[in-house]
Amino acid sequence: MAAPDIQAEPTAAVPSTATPASLASRLKHAAVEIGFDLVGISAAVAPDGLSRLREWLAAGNAGEMAYIQRRLDAYADPARVLPEVRSVVMLATNYRTRDPLPLPAGAGRVSRYAWGERDYHDVLRERTRRLADVLHAERPDCRTRCIVDSAPLLERDFARRAGLGWFGKNTMLINKRLGSWFFLSALLTDVELPPDAPHDTAHCGTCTRCLEACPTDAFDAPGRLDARKCISYLTIELRGRPIPESLRSPLGDWAFGCDVCQDVCPWNTKAPVSGDPAFAPAAERDRVDLADLLSLTDEEFATRHRGTPLERPGRDGLLQNACIVAGNTGGPDALPLLERAARESSSAVREAAAWAERELRRRHADCAADAGFETHDVSRPGPTDVTAGLPSPGIGNGD
């Protein structure tokens, strides 16, 4: 986690005589000039979704994300993030660029938010600091803290209170103009600013496309996500622990993250394309080449992905994902790659490679049988079967 980004300017500057309302207006105009697409202000009160968060955690839906439970008390009060906080300035940044291109053979799909050259955390942190500078120029004695996924703050709750959107049935915050293709960041301050009207009305109606489209059936009900089944969690947050076997085939070609529940949302079909160069798709960042990924050493992986979102799951996590994608979509040419992965030090990678090899051989046998060719018994362990001696894959929550 990044160190607290708290700013307190020297008191020598002359404070502005701007009223709270005019100061809020000045901040909103500055936010747009800096590059934010939406800005709203909420009072620094207890978040509305705290009880839902507690219920969600009690049901085990956080999976291996134990840090959420550890910081539960801090989520209850934004003053635990910035003492004497009075206002939360919520900021949204559109990251929708082009639509995904057809995926070539031998590649795994990457979620849209990771297509840029830089990690969005770094981009938004810089911009939020610039907005904090505007506030410090007006109120030299004020204190601020910039938040980009780095503190126990329920950003979506405060964004709804600040009028930026409503909670969709897929738990995403949705805005009528931007859909849900936007990042959230926050500027906390001890300056009391007039809050905006909360967004109290949902506009999903009877639509359930996001719930029905989820490949792993991760939604228990509208607005209730079991992270343990979510492809984004499985491919990013599980951090190299074995992905349950029952969820491997539904992963399909997703090697990092998942956009399915957002892709099918009608509000996202109307969302504008961002012209922000910070999020312009870098060359082939919308995919990973499975052969290339499976051949990277630890050092090469660190060099290639340092400072990008793909660094988060680590090499073992991405290699496990790559093996599963190869098992779901690959052909016989993927077998040598899987044989190499079967010699990795990570048991999760080795087990995923063994599973993928079995899937490829089974699919090859089925295709041959459909074509009328005689085949050998591929269910019998062959020379590259590496499951002997390995522990059984973990199924469920950390088993």
Q: Is 380 exposed, middle or buried (0-12, 13-18, 19+ CB in 10 A)?
A: exposed
Contacts of 62 (CB under 8 A, 6+ apart): 56, 68, 69, 227
Q: What is the pLDDT, as a whole number, of residue 363?
A: 84
Q: What is the pLDDT of residues 342-362, one digit of tens each?
A: 999 999 999 999 999 999 999
Q: Is the pLDDT of residue 51 over 70?
A: yes
**Angstrom distance (rounded) from CA 23 to CA 26:** 5
Given pLDDT bands bounded at 50, 70 and 90, which one contains residue 368?
low
Q: Is 276 exposed, middle or buried (0-12, 13-18, 19+ CB in 10 A)?
A: middle
Buried b (16+ CB within 10 A) or exposed e, 245-254: eebbebbbbb
Cα 365 to the center of its chain, rounded Å: 37
Strands (E), the chain: 6-8, 38-43, 87-94, 107-110, 143-147, 166-167, 173-174, 182-189, 219-221, 224-225, 254-256, 287-289
Active site residues: 149
* Residue at 81: amino acid letter: V
Cα 333 to the center of its chain, rounded Å: 31
Q: What is the pLDDT, as a whole number, of residue 343?
A: 94
According to DSSP, the β-strands at 219-221 and 287-289 are unpaired
Q: Is the pLDDT of residue 242 over 90?
A: yes
DSSP helix/strand/coil, 70: helix
Q: What is the pLDDT of residues 202-218, one digit of tens each?
A: 999 999 999 999 999 99
Percentage of residues of the chain with pLDDT beyond 70:
87
* Residue at 67: amino acid letter: Y
DSSP helix/strand/coil, 225: strand
Higher pLDDT, 157 or 393: 157
Looking at residues 265-289, what average pLDDT do you find? 93
Q: What is the pLDDT of residues 147-191, one digit of tens each?
A: 999 899 999 999 999 999 999 999 999 999 999 999 999 999 999
Contacts of 127 (CB under 8 A, 6+ apart): 34, 35, 36, 91, 93, 185
DSSP 333: G
Q: Is the pLDDT of residue 387 over 80?
A: no
Nearest in space to 74 (alpha carbons), one of 40, 47, 42:
47
Q: Is the pLDDT of residue 17 over 80?
A: no
- Residue with token string 């969005």: 120
Neighbouring-strand partners of residue 370: none
Q: Is 379 exposed, middle or buried (0-12, 13-18, 19+ CB in 10 A)?
A: exposed
Q: What is the pLDDT of residues 295-335, one digit of tens each?
A: 999 999 999 999 899 999 999 999 999 999 999 999 888 99
* Domain boundaries along the sequence of the chain: 6-98+119-189, 209-370
Output the average pLDDT for the chain.
Answer: 89
- Residue with token string 């049901």: 59
Query: How many other CB atoms are there within 10 angstroms of residue 369's CB atom?
Result: 11
Percentage of residues of the chain with pLDDT beyond 90:
81
| Cα 279-153-113 angle, rounded to 5 deg | 20
pTM attached to this predicted model: 0.87
Q: What is the pLDDT, as a whole number, of residue 371?
A: 58
Q: Is the pLDDT of residue 381 over 60?
A: no
Q: What is the pLDDT, as a whole number, of residue 311?
A: 93
Nearest in space to 111 (alpha carbons), one of 180, 166, 42, 12:
180
Q: Copy the structure tokens of residue 93.
A: 């940044």
Q: Copy the structure tokens of residue 193.
A: 């600013």
According to DSSP, the β-strands at 38-43 and 143-147 are unpaired
Q: Is the pLDDT of residue 54 over 70?
A: yes
Q: What is the pLDDT, as a whole number, of residue 14?
A: 52
Q: What is the pLDDT of residues 78-99, one digit of tens each?
A: 999 999 999 999 999 999 998 9
